[in-house]
Structure 1
Amino acid sequence: MKLFGYEFRKISKKEISQVSAYGGTGLIQLASREYPMLLSTVYRCVDLISDSVAVLPLEVFRLDEAGFKMKDTKHPIYELLDLEPNENMTRYVFIKTLMASVLLTGNGYAYIERGEDGVTPIQLVYIPSNQVSIQWIVDKEGIRRKRYLVSGFTQLVEPCDMIHVLNFSYDGIIGVSTLTHARQTLGIATSSEEHAAGFFKSGAAVSGVLTIEGARLTKEQKEQNYKQWEERSNSNNGRPGGIVILEGNMKYQPISISPKDSQLLESRQFNVVDICRFFSVSPVKAFDLSKSSYSTIEATQLEYLTDTALPVITKIEQEINRKVFSRKERSMYKAEFNTSAILRADKAAQGAFWKDMANVGAATPNEIRREIGMSRIENGDEAFVQVNVLTLKNAVKEKMIEGNQE
């Protein structure tokens, strides 16, 4: 069964009990995410969101008793998270692939392969979502427990060994693809693209009826007229929009509406905005600059980071922290994306940020130089503050001393 470009099949009652079905419809989506990706807006939104997260370094920090963080590059999983999650992927490829799966299928899976001690992760292996399903088991206490049934695995995978990043979810167990909610819009957008392609393929010509008044043509004469019209107006013969001469008793009447009359261009532009809504991406980020200005673009960038990128980053961080680290390590270690990498391409914003950090004594010169890729300097490990800034208490004291001296 096909619906809006997606393939569906009937599933058995046994599969329904294993997989969190949507509304008891008995329909399960098969892997068909390539079809919507042919739409430029969908491609751009998925590529943008997955890239925004994949470019950020994923670093391990050690927490002290006061909650202060220090980067711990010697931790066994530091290189695993920040450089090479598995033997086939870099961190960038791994995160980008995982996020594309989340957006297009609703779920992103990565199996945690652990070492001989059964605790230390040695690989994070990406698993396509169509190879994973949810199965429920009943433990000795009669409680239903979630397990992952993975194609090719001989045993069920426990949740602690599977990184599972969900998209929007109704039950917190299975994520729902963004494309599922946008299916009607994608169907309209696809129809618009197909209509536009057909229109341009036909030489941007409309269909019509050719009438010949006061004459009854034979079959051979009709075929001759068809042939001449085809030779003059068919775009495939190198004469798109060719001129056709009509005799005195001939009349041409178009029967299909033009793209302008059918609002083809307006609907295609609206499709961009509507699809962007589902992905929580501003149309400006999808290169729709019809209603934008410089100030709009600047505000859009900030809005995108807070409303779109930050929730995704938080979602991945929390899933990794509760699965990769043991229970004993959770209070001492934490994996976080280094969001300062976003400023690497914006030197003005980067300079303003570190200047403010230096002025309040929050960063030393060497710390700043390290972050911007410069070498250490002598006597650069001390923090500085501006001398013309006082606490309110000291300011009152100085005022009182001045009054007494007078």
Structure 2
Amino acid sequence: MSFSGAFGLMFASKRSVSSDSSFFGSYGGFFSMGSSNSYGMKPKTALKLSAFYNGVDQISNDIAKIPFAVYQKDGKNRIARTEHPANKLIATTPNYLMTSFVFRKTMAISYLIRGNALAKINFDQKGFPVSTDFINWDCVQDIRLKKGELLYDVRGYDKPLLASEVLHFKNFSHNGIVGVGVITYAAQQFGIAIEVQNFSATNLQNKGVRQGVIQTDKTIEKGKDKIIAGWKAAMGERSPDRIVVLDDGFKFEPINITPQEAQIIEQARFSIEDIARWLNIAPHKIKSLQQSTNNNIEQQSMDHVSDTIQPHVTNFEQEYAKKLFTSFELQNGYYIRANIDSLLRADIKSRTEAHARAVLTGWKHRNEIRELEDLNEGPELLNEYLTPVNTFTESQIDNNLKEDGKQ
């Protein structure tokens, strides 16, 4: 099956229940769609909430822009293996249609919303990975265990895909095989937020005038239908200066709740905070700054990296390593590393201060700092580690005392 075929299959038939040991079973919607809930919440509906859309966009952008690379642990050394075929897939070109940023962002969006992200790994004749093709999660019909082999039944493929042939990033999971979409559990809160959003739009569209009754002290035997039709016709106009005239003591009394009674603003703010909790993201990252100050927003940004992004990145690192390396390479110290420090590079003042401390305390040399800043390597002298003149190890103190004694 071609990449475009897998990507283009946007709608799948109902997930099947295999006669083998299925990990979907009768929970296809529960594990992915988030559709088995009273609100019938679907991903496209949930994304109409600006806070949810922005939260997913923020996290997926952070996952996508972090540099991933192949390394090998050789004793005490860490060697960058840029020549390894997997390095091209995760660092630059996963396939001929996508850059590494677009591919990882697409995977991260599916991973965050659906709880799962799937891609087929294509290998060359020597068994090295050469490309990874995104598979829309709607195309996955079943994941089952058959004779000890985990199989993926995917629409458009003639035969099931082996677990070793796919990258499968799983978010929250009950069984470690299939992830659960956040919408599955957040459907009720998202449904309320959608209703508040729709109520606000309808209220604005109707200038605050909704259902009501026309009252009068007189008894009207005939003509009620004409009064109702006249009111609807007048209030149905789109003109901003629409005017209705009520004769003979008629009064209109609305029976809908007012925005003040519904506390629309407070409910909308609560929805933003609730969405932040579901996505495990700081409210200020989705543009809610009520609880943020100049003093705590920097700490919140660091917490975002360590608490929100780091677990997802570790998940990606381990799945990449498990599927793109042979067992021999894993035994010989090959691993995937994401440079998560890149997320903290925006503040040049904090970055330069951190670099200065690293150099002056001797745990990085100056050429390493130049490499982090995408600068060419400097003179050989810059490869030497600096040591503070007022700091000595025990052996240095002993040597100095011996030398002093000889003098």
Would you say same fold, with TM above 0.5? yes
Which residue of structure 1 aligns with residue 93 of structure 2? Answer: 84
Match of 1:198 among 195, 202, 226: 202
Which residue of structure 1 aligns with residue 353 of structure 2? Answer: 352
250-259 vs 266-275, which deviates more? 250-259
Task: State the secondary structure of the residue aligned to 2:371.
Answer: helix
Displacement, 1:16?
8.8
Which residue of structure 2 aligns with residue 158 of structure 1? Answer: 162
**Alignment length, in residue pairs?**
387
Which residue of structure 1 aligns with residue 119 of structure 2? Answer: 110
Which residue of structure 2 aligns with residue 278 of structure 1? Answer: 278
Task: State the secondary structure of the residue aligned to 1:256.
Answer: coil
Whole-Å separation in 1 of the counterparts to 2:30 and 2:65 = 39
Displacement, 1:79?
1.8
Which residue of structure 2 aligns with residue 302 of structure 1? Answer: 302
**Residue deviations 1:136-182 (CA, integer Å, cap 9, x gap):** 212xxxxx331111222222222112111101000111100011110
Task: State the secondary structure of the residue aligned to 1:345.
Answer: coil
Which residue of structure 2 aligns with residue 325 of structure 1? Answer: 325
Residue 250 (structure 1) aligned with residue 216 (structure 2): no
Whole-Å separation in 1 of the counterparts to 2:99 and 2:284 = 30
> Identity of paired residues, percent?
26
Letter in 2 for 1:116: Q
- Is the contact between residue 10 and residue 26 of structure 1 (CA under 8 Å) also seen in structure 2? no
Letter in 1 for 2:68: L
| Bigger relative contact order (CA 8 A; separation at least 6) | 2
Letter in 1 for 2:307: D
- Is the contact between residue 192 and residue 268 of structure 1 (CA under 8 Å) also seen in structure 2? yes
**Residue deviations 1:322-367 (CA, integer Å, cap 9, x gap):** 1101011113321111112213322122112211211122222222
Match of 2:105 among 96, 99, 114: 96
**Residue deviations 1:356-391 (CA, integer Å, cap 9, x gap):** 211122222222122213333333222222211112
Whole-Å separation in 1 of the counterparts to 2:153 and 2:173 = 19
Which residue of structure 1 aligns with residue 392 of structure 2? Answer: 390
Displacement, 1:296?
2.6
Whole-Å separation in 2 of the counterparts to 1:353 and 1:249 = 77
Which residue of structure 1 aligns with residue 75 of structure 2? Answer: 65
222-231 vs 55-64, which deviates more? 222-231
312-321 vs 260-269, which deviates more? 260-269
Where structure 1 has 5 or more consecutive residues not aligned to the other structure, the ranges are 1-6, 139-143
**Residue deviations 1:26-71 (CA, integer Å, cap 9, x gap):** 99848942121111111011111111110011111122123x2122
Displacement, 1:190?
1.1
- Is the contact between residue 104 and residue 178 of structure 1 (CA under 8 Å) also seen in structure 2? yes
Whole-Å separation in 1 of the counterparts to 2:44 and 2:357 = 46
Where structure 2 has 5 or more consecutive residues not aligned to the other structure, the ranges are 1-10, 36-41
Whole-Å separation in 2 of the counterparts to 1:253 and 1:281 = 44
Whole-Å separation in 2 of the counterparts to 1:243 and 1:23 = 54
Whole-Å separation in 2 of the counterparts to 1:26 and 1:178 = 10
CA RMSD of aligned residues (A): 3.0
388-397 vs 90-99, which deviates more? 388-397
Change (3 A) 1:12 1:74: closer
Letter in 1 for 2:136: P
Which residue of structure 1 aligns with residue 230 of structure 2? Answer: 227
Match of 1:237 among 219, 236, 239: 239
Residue 208 (structure 1) aligned with residue 212 (structure 2): yes
Residue 189 (structure 1) aligned with residue 197 (structure 2): no
264-273 vs 105-114, which deviates more? 264-273
Whole-Å separation in 2 of the counterparts to 1:154 and 1:394 = 69
**Residue deviations 1:262-285 (CA, integer Å, cap 9, x gap):** 222211211111121111012111
Whole-Å separation in 2 of the counterparts to 1:212 and 1:152 = 67
Displacement, 1:8?
11
- Is the contact between residue 8 and residue 28 of structure 1 (CA under 8 Å) also seen in structure 2? no
Residue 39 (structure 1) aligned with residue 40 (structure 2): no
